[in-house]
Structure 1
Amino acid sequence: MVLANFPFSDEFWWLKPEQQTDDKKKKDKLKKEIFGKEGYKDPFGRFGRGTPFKAPPAGYGDYAFILHVLASLNDQGRAGIVCPQGVLFRGQPEVEEETGEFDDDGNQIVKRRKADDEHLIRKALLQSRLIDAVISLPLNVFYGAGVPACLLILRKQRPPERHDKVLLVYAARHYRELSNQNELRPQDVMRILVHVQAYGEAARVPDLVAQHSGRIREQINAREHDQVERLEAEYADVAARLAKLETEVAEKRAGLEKLTPKNARDKAAAATAKLENQRDKAAAKIAERDGKIAEARRRADDDRRDVEKESRELGELYGDPDELLKHARVVGLDEIEENEFNLNIPRYVDTFEPEPRVSVKDALKALGDAQKKLGAAETDLSNILKGIGYAT
């Protein structure tokens, strides 16, 4: 099993490391040499002349990487490749275009435009039954990649029942939004795994949910235990110091009551106050530790509840075929062919987000509030115009 994520912006995949240059003229010359009239010849036999796959275009390295991974698999191999979603639909099929000119008989002259190489590569992958599933991922889950991403699952030996099908999963709705980068939570990963492993078979879902939810709960428990242990170890010296200071403060206070000379009593009181200040600082650090531990436990509790909620939702989802169509769908190759081998997930899965329902009462209230604000704004504007000498 291969898991791969490549640079989305690799525009010069065809240049060897020693050929890399910023000189545009040199690049153009190399491009003409490498992509000659006969086409690109890959020295490793992964794509181009002599293979079932066209060479990827010079300006996009996506399919070069995908085909490289495919060539690296053995006969039982599988690969999960993170790609920009453009690989699902970039490239046009062969089309006939009207030229605006007419022949001697008055018929429109039609020009046939060849299919783009990326379209032909995707078509060949599908017709070779190598694409097992496509998963659309949330935005901004990969650092530095602002483009929408997907997970392309390739599999050389697919079960016979899947041979003429592709699973399409729309998983872009479920994630944790963070300030710099979004995150797939354990329950979001579980949702994707259940879709992929069930492959449309509702009867398999209960066992899959039980298996994955149990494993994820174990991970959450282990993470909580590790975080608490780490915090306790991090603050262990402070805790020992606090215990020592509390003992010393108690001893000083007990001795303070026995002192009768004023000078000695004042000196002992000052020393006691100093120790108490140190004790309070150490106690504040321990309170900080306890707050972090409480937060770690709270997050773990929330994650456990979310896993339970996700488990119930998955069960309900596979009991409602119409609702399932908004999340995942197994599509036949005949339908994909009708769509000109375009794998853009919204063509097959209902990704539309309906507007939230509003009651008539709430709508009328919102309308009334808006009309009041409009009236107040008109009054303010009228007063301003009067103030600067314009009569209304």
Structure 2
Amino acid sequence: MADTHITQAQQQADLQKRLWAIANDLRGNMDASEYRNYMLGLIFYRFLSGKVEDYANQLLANDDLSFAAAYAQPEIQAGLKQEIVGTLGFFIEPQYLYSALVQDIHDGNFDIEKLQSAVNAVQDSTIGQDSQDDFRGLFTDMDLSSNRLGSTVAQRSDLMAKVMLNLADIPFDADDLQIDALGDAYEYLIGQFAASAGKKAGEFYTPQQVSKILAGIVTLGRDRLQSVYDPTMGSGSLLLRVGDSIPVAEYYGQELNGTTYNLARMNLLMHGVNYARFDVYNGDTLEDDHYDGQSFDAVVANPPYSANWNPDGKLEDERFRKYGKTAPKSKADFAFVEHMLYHLRADGTMAVVLPHGVLFRGAAEGKIRRYMIEQDNVLDAVIGLPANLFYGTSIPTAILVFKKNRTTKDILFIDASKEFEKGKNQNNLTDDQVEKIIQTYADRKDIEKFAHVASYEDIVKNEFNLNIPRYVDTFEEEPPVDVDQLVADIHQTDQELAQSEAAFSQLLNDLVGQNPDAQQQLTKIKELFGDD
């Protein structure tokens, strides 16, 4: 069994390495966000194509017909297409299958316009189906007419053909991979693109280890979830991490950035989440709450830190009304928290990553924080994370955990700021460190210099300031200084310095005795450094 695990892990690592090498063929003059769209779009198209081809072959297993031959017969075509669309939610004609396009490349019959027709046909096949919204605009960001791919159709065709042939050499089907590696490899690429994207990376990617902490916390004590919701879902990685922890029936999410929204839908599908099991929406969560009135078993998020928003009129909104104050115009952090709490079921758990400022800033934020603790009693834990974990920002962050069914008013504080290993560009959390944080939250016990369960009275004494050092003392006392040894060391240093000065002086005198011109040089040295 161990050998199989090693083989599978190596298989996955090899797949990720090969995919990233292919991605580099597209670099040219494009930045990471541009070639990401082409690379991930092509992988996704090949994945969809393989799904159609495999399912068609299953349907035709008892017939002596290929998919292409069966589809060419009018009496079979309509029923075959209907069956595939009904199950998969989309359809790809045999001529547009990835394998058919690769054959066209080998035969010299391929051009980029045919690829454009192929991706357009995927969306067209969903029109009027339940899956229409889930597939609409999926390939919008893969602009095959862009001059960045080449100044002519022939140049663009050659570049896409090169990448498609490279992808064709990689096994994508489960029999070859033996593990669900493709979805993980896809997410690996998203992470690699995030590492190359600078400040923009935080818009679409939460580091895997941070996602594991949030997922581990919201799934504690449960063997399944009916629903999980992320109001700022980015590429969907956090939603999927919850699904990795325990079975999830339905995934919900909202994302403002259209490109990132497309990426999330692809990511969900690539991880085997059928279109009927997710409901995601492209829009501004705070301005346009697509899920108004709905609540979810678990709510997770890594929202944009201290983002601008428009608080005008928001106290009339059910999500924000009871707090009496709105989050500042330039800091929407608590607006996201209020939105998430509104959508959390009474017996659910919510975990959100936020900048440390939400723990202690005053004015309106201070009043909101106090209401959540004093009136609603929903804040369950504060977990301080190390700095420089996230792409695009080095600031330290904290995970805030909320529950609505709390029976006590104490709050668990965990200071995990030193739980990291240094990486090339970002700090990283190890699996052991992730497990330590989750287990500490589950145990809810004091651990010296790491965790403390603060009483409500302590919180009140600190005027609802949640700055972690007020509750977890991580001060390391310096060892006592041996004064006698220090004096002896200083005396020894003085003696060594005197000896060095004497040796240098003798060296200068010897130099003068050997060289008549040296006296003038010695005088200049003394002017610079003094007679001593």
Q: TM-score, normalized by length of structure 2?
A: 0.37
- CA radius of gyration, larger in: 1
Higher relative contact order (CA closer than 8 Å, sequence separation 6+)? 1
Q: TM-score, normalized by length of structure 1?
A: 0.50
